[in-house]
Amino acid sequence: MTSLHGIYPYLVSPVDPATGAVREAVLRRLVEHLVDAGVHGLSPLGSTGESPYLNGEQRAEIVRITVAAARGRVPVVPGVAAFATQQAVAEARRYAGLGADGLVLILQQYFPLPRAAVAGFFRDVAAAVPSCPVVLYSNPRLAGVALPADLVAELAEVPNIQYFKEASGQTGEILTVLNRTRMKVFSASAHIPLTVLQLGGVGWMAGPACLLPRECVALYDLAVAGEWEKAMALQRRLWRVNEVFGKHGLAACVKAGLELQGFEVGPPVAPQLPLGEAAVAEIGAALREAAS
């Protein structure tokens, strides 16, 4: 089973606003650019990838293109987000069949679910793709379901559930999980990525890494080398980007930033609105500051 670590940019989903067609050339060029910059893997269809705003065909197309463009140089680990177990199982199998090296799995909430139902979802989907490593993703703010540490510990017994990504922003939860389980932990952008690495995390899956791949890889390399002071100086410079993204919305910001960098990824999927001029200027400034 592929081992996952390092910087995984969350890819945006470049979709034509009029026709809904995936812009294959743009996505291929973005993948090439990121792999060139040294990222350790690619994660399409995360929050940054606007997964809930796409239909099944768009989603499969994005996985297909990403795998093709990556050409085996780095692992491709798409997100699977669903309300229903059967839909998640179907998507997980489809992406594995398309060549995905792992999955980031998230349960969306409509009706509140008891703990046993939440556990059942993750167990059933993981069992459907037994040779595929699964990243358990807890994102109560966007998806409505929190995964408390004792549930993470229970799911850590499933052989292919090997990673945990926490996006509540409560960094203490990560230490609890690391203390109690064998889970390997990825940082989300709601946390300070360097802090997660200091706690023992294995990487960072993040929208900002689409825009600042070299800087994110440098942060990871400094952490691996134990160069904590240099790493902290770089982290402080990079943090502004997380702040701006938190303020204006993840997908809209990354898409606007990529447009500034010359990638015609288009606007966020409606009803989301493109950012206004002031917000775009703020993103541009944060990127320049972070890259300096």
Query: Element (H or E) spanning 135, and its range?
Result: strand 134-138
Q: Count CB atoms within 10 A of the CB of residue 128.
A: 17
Q: Which stretch binds its own copies (CB under 8 A): 28-36, 85-93, 205-213, 215-223?
A: 85-93
Q: Is 182 in the site for its own copies (CB under 8 A)?
A: no
Q: Is 267 in the site for its own copies (CB under 8 A)?
A: no
Nearest CA among 179, 175, 169, 174 for reference residue 141: 169
Residue among 24, 99, 228, 260 that touches its own copies (CB under 8 A):
228
Q: Which stretch binds its own copies (CB under 8 A): 37-45, 202-210, 242-250, 277-285?
A: 242-250
Residue among 99, 140, 144, 284 that touches its own copies (CB under 8 A):
144
CA angle 179, 92, 10 (to 5 degrees): 65
Tokens representing 259?
């447009």
**Count of residues that interact with its own copies, criterion CB under 8 A:** 60
The nearer residue to its own copies, 156 or 250, going by C-beta atoms, is 250
The nearer residue to its own copies, 108 or 261, going by C-beta atoms, is 108
The nearer residue to its own copies, 73 or 108, going by C-beta atoms, is 108
From residue 29 to residue 68, the character string flagging contacts with its own copies as x (rule: CB under 8 A) and all else as - is: ------------------x--x-xxxxx------------
Who contacts 154 (Cβ-Cβ below 8 Å, separation ≥6)? Answer: 119
SS3 107: strand
CA angle 9, 10, 15 (to 5 degrees): 125
Q: Is 242 in the site for its own copies (CB under 8 A)?
A: yes
Q: Which stretch binds its own copies (CB under 8 A): 38-46, 114-122, 155-163, 255-263?
A: 114-122
Nearest CA among 16, 3, 34 for reference residue 207: 34
Q: Count CB atoms within 10 A of the CB of residue 72.
A: 9
Residue among 38, 140, 249, 267 that touches its own copies (CB under 8 A):
249
Long-range contacts: 112-121, Cβ < 8 Å, 24+? 113/145, 115/151, 118/145, 118/147, 118/151, 119/151, 119/154, 119/155, 120/85, 121/85, 121/88
Q: Which residues bind its own copies (CB under 8 A)?
A: 20, 47, 50, 52-56, 83-87, 107-108, 110-114, 116-118, 120-121, 124, 142-144, 169-172, 175-176, 178-179, 190-192, 195, 198-199, 228, 232, 235-236, 239-240, 242-243, 249-252, 269-273
